[in-house]
Structure 1
């Protein structure tokens, strides 16, 4: 469906690095590791 395609566009997602930085600076969490994605599984 068109709605499903819109949800899967890269622009629909926030940059995880930006989100982590904001949450860290707000004092809601601490950075403890940097992870690198290896792949995506859809099912």
Structure 2
């Protein structure tokens, strides 16, 4: 199973756009969405 957070916040993200706030926001949103999704699935 491919985790989208690895693409957004992983090594590939920051290299293309170093230091961009948008990149950080996407990474944080991705992690938050994934945690919420896992919590909803488990609960």
Using structure 1 for the length normalisation, give the TM-score: 0.31
Name the structure where helix makes up a greater proportion of residues: 2
Structure of larger gyration radius: 1
Using structure 2 for the length normalisation, give the TM-score: 0.31
Higher relative contact order (CA 8 A, sep 6+): 2
